[in-house]
Structure 1
C-alpha cells in the first residue's frame, strides 16, 4: 500500500478542481436611507447668544452683552422649535450666562451708584457743632 505524501499542516488532500469559490457577503449598513445620517445645522442666533454670554463673562458683566445674549437666546429657542435646527444647548448656555451676568452687572451698578450717592450726600451735609 502506498503512503500518502507528507502534510505538515494537517490540511489533508484537497481536490484542486472540486473547490467552489464564493463571494464574501455584502457589507450590511445599519442605517436606513441613502447615506450617512444628516446632522442639523446650528442656529445662528444660538451661536450669537452663546458668544455674547461668553463675552459678558469675560468683561465681568457688561450689561449690554448680557442683555444681547438673553434676547438672542430667546429668539434662537423659538426658531429652533419652529424649524428643527440644532443649537438648543448653545441657546440655553447663552441664556444662563446672559441672565446671570445681567443680574450681577445690575447689582454692581446699583452698589456703585449707591456708594457714589452716599459720598456726595455726606459731602453736602452741613457740619454740626456742639
Structure 2
C-alpha cells in the first residue's frame, strides 16, 4: 500500500529575475511570497498557501514557460508504476523525482512527500 496526492502547482518561468516573477504571481493570486530563493540556488520561489491547499512554487527554467503539477508520494517507484499502468511514461529522473508524461502530452512530476503532515486529501493505493 502506498499514498499520493496533488502537492504542488509549479509555475515554470523562463526568466532572468525569478523574484520579479514571484512578485507578479503573488499579486495575481493573492498569495504572499514565502521566499524567492527556497534552496539557496536561485531556482525556486514559494508562495504561501494553507495546509489543505497545494503549494505554489515558481521554478526558473530554460524551456518555454508553462505550468506543471507535482504528485507527492511516500513511495516514488510504486507511484510511478501505478501511473505507467494508466498510460503515463517516464521521461527523466532528476536528483530525487521523476518527470513523467501523461498520455495527453502534459508533463508532471512524481516527488517525495513535500510537507511534514501528509494528510488531507490523501489517496491510498494497493500495490
TM-score calculated relative to the size of structure 1: 0.18
| Larger relative helix fraction | 1
**Higher RCO by CA contacts (8 Å cutoff, separation 6 or greater):** 2
| Larger relative strand fraction | 2
